[in-house]
């Protein structure tokens, strides 16, 4: 999974406002990082995150509908979705890694919590306050929704697709979400900017 650092100030993971940010920051330096290699970022930054289930749903939506767009004669059915979801789970993508929140938490802690954490829904406000750019986040202006009229699944939302997987392929869906509670613990500590004491103590024991 990868994240983008804009203007050496704003870290935006894929599927967490990165396309919106690219559309705004057309004239500033941006660099992509593997999520496990954030330690090379030395300056104080702001990090954008969103709820694990929403990030997961968005990543699945992009991966599965992206394949269907490239294969227009195919459709949402088990024979097509099972290998795609299995590959998503086995190999990961640039858009999702179940360990992403843990990596962000560890990075945040190594910077002595100097980096600020904001929710995705605060991104446009942050950009307006920091750069004076008031740009509404039009979720239909990019990604799959922008293909309306050209793609039969353009109006299939991430929630609707996830519900189809859950109901049609329940065992596979359970595999997809089984580690979300772990991610949610890290997310909750990040968004509230609090220490995950049990995790920190366990890490100290490993070092000793």
Tens of pLDDT, residue by residue over 134-148, are 887 766 555 665 666
The β-bridge relationship of strands 30-34 and 10-13 is: unpaired
pLDDT winner (highest mean) among 79-93, 105-119, 181-195: 181-195
| Helix, strand, or coil (residue 61) | helix
Task: Decide: 49 and 104 in contact? Cβ < 8 Å.
Answer: yes
The CA-atom distances, in angstroms, between 62 and each of 8, 58, 145 are 27, 6, 11
CA–CA–CA angle 43, 46, 206 (5° rounding): 75
Phi/psi of residue 153, each to 5°? -105, 20
Asked if residue 206 belongs to a domain, the reply is: no
Asked if residue 94 belongs to a domain, the reply is: yes
Task: Decide: 195 and 204 in contact? Cβ < 8 Å.
Answer: no
Asked if residue 95 belongs to a domain, the reply is: yes
Assign 184 a pLDDT band (cuts: 50, 70, 90).
Answer: very high
Identify the CA nearest to 19 among candidates 121, 124, 142: 142
Asked if residue 205 belongs to a domain, the reply is: no
Asked if residue 207 belongs to a domain, the reply is: no
Asked if residue 23 belongs to a domain, the reply is: yes
Q: What is the pLDDT of residue 33?
A: 93
Asked if residue 58 belongs to a domain, the reply is: yes
Asked if residue 33 belongs to a domain, the reply is: yes
What are 101-146's pLDDT values in tens digits?
A: 999 999 999 888 889 999 999 999 999 999 998 887 766 555 665 6
Task: Decide: 85 and 60 in contact? Cβ < 8 Å.
Answer: yes
Q: What is the DSSP letter of 116?
A: E
* 139 or 28: which leads in pLDDT: 28
What's the structural domain count of the chain?
1
- Domain extent, residue 22, equals 2-199
Other Cβ atoms within 10 Å of 193 Cβ, number: 11
């Amino acid at each position: 999974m990868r994240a983008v650092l804009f203007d050496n100030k704003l870290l935006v993971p894929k599927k967490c406002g990165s396309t919106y940010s690219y559309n705004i920051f057309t004239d500033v330096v941006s660099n992509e990082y593997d999520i496990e290699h954030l330690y090379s970022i030395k300056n104080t930054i702001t990090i954008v995150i969103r709820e694990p289930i929403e990030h997961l749903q968005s990543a699945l939506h992009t991966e599965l509908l992206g394949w269907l767009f490239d294969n227009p004669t195919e459709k949402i059915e088990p024979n097509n979705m099972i290998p795609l979801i299995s590959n998503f789970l086995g190999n990961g993508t640039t858009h999702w890694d179940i360990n992403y929140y843990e990596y962000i938490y560890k990075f945040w802690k190594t910077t002595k919590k100097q980096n600020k954490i904001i929710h995705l829904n605060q991104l446009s406000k942050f950009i307006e306050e920091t750069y004076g750019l008031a740009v509404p986040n039009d979720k239909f202006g990019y990604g799959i929704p922008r293909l309306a009229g050209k793609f039969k699944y353009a109006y299939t939302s991430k929630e609707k697709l996830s519900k189809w997987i859950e109901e049609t392929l329940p065992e596979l869906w359970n595999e997809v979400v089984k580690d979300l509670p772990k991610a949610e613990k890290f997310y909750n500590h990040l968004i509230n900017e609090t220490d995950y004491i049990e995790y920190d103590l366990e890490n100290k024991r490993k070092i000793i």
